[in-house]
Structure 1
């Protein structure tokens, strides 16, 4: 076997393994990939994807282009047989950064919702304590709801993350990274009555 043939085989094997890793990293199932390939005009099943990733079935140029687009990675990067080549490592870095920034955005919204719910929770406790303050016998020592739920009231992780997010988006270099990797920085949505929460 000549060196050219060996190079082609190495590229085929590299493409199969690199696509498998990229698919998993993006949370795509083999069934989902098969469905997308069918939408692209290829008669693929989950078994087809399995065979491709195992190296038991070669892909055409058109199929390779479609697969590469699914994982947002150039075909030549997926087919690069050198796992430590700067081109492949750069692509891996970009994909990892995009995934991480997406998760940071999701966590930001989760923390905002948790912060809102925490404030509503505190208001509910205050309202309950106020309504039941006269229900106990004189001199009876009964803990208030605020005392009972003190560990939850004092749990400040959501607000801490919200504050960390606000610092992040004020960092120009961080904002540049978000834009470079296609992550839109959304403004915090205002919640009806949120400005009244926490007031005595």
Structure 2
């Protein structure tokens, strides 16, 4: 069975909405509001090297697909299989689109089947709605969180308001000079 990892930039009040840009009133809050510290992003580089596949929701796919294929810093992600969970995307358009190795999954059952297969970890970037659905379905095995010292008050959150209680086990943590906290949690089952 493959490990499914949700990785997020998250504010202290749990918001994951528009960390690098987007429609949120404070879009870009990870870079605009917190001083850059390269050490704080070491986890992101490690994720790219350790992941065997990427899983995205439709909105994240729509935002990443036009940009990431041209970015050398995402070389490993660009070369690995990518799966988009969507009931509306055209499979042929995704398969033949700008981002190579992309496939459409139609449901969380499809995600569960992918997870049951052979291979390395599946990383979920962004995709707050997808992350909430995966958590509710009991499909998340681990969370990689970079917690930023900012509160946003509103926006998409990592966990749904009606989410079940979930016990997490801290397996790695670090603090950085700019106030970012890295926390890696396994879902306790």
Global fold match (TM > 0.5): no
Higher share of residues assigned strand: 2
- TM-score normalized by the length of structure 1: 0.20
Larger Cα Rg: Structure 1 or Structure 2? 1
- Larger relative CO (CA 8 A, sep 6+): 1 or 2? 2
Q: Which has a greater percent of helix? A: 1
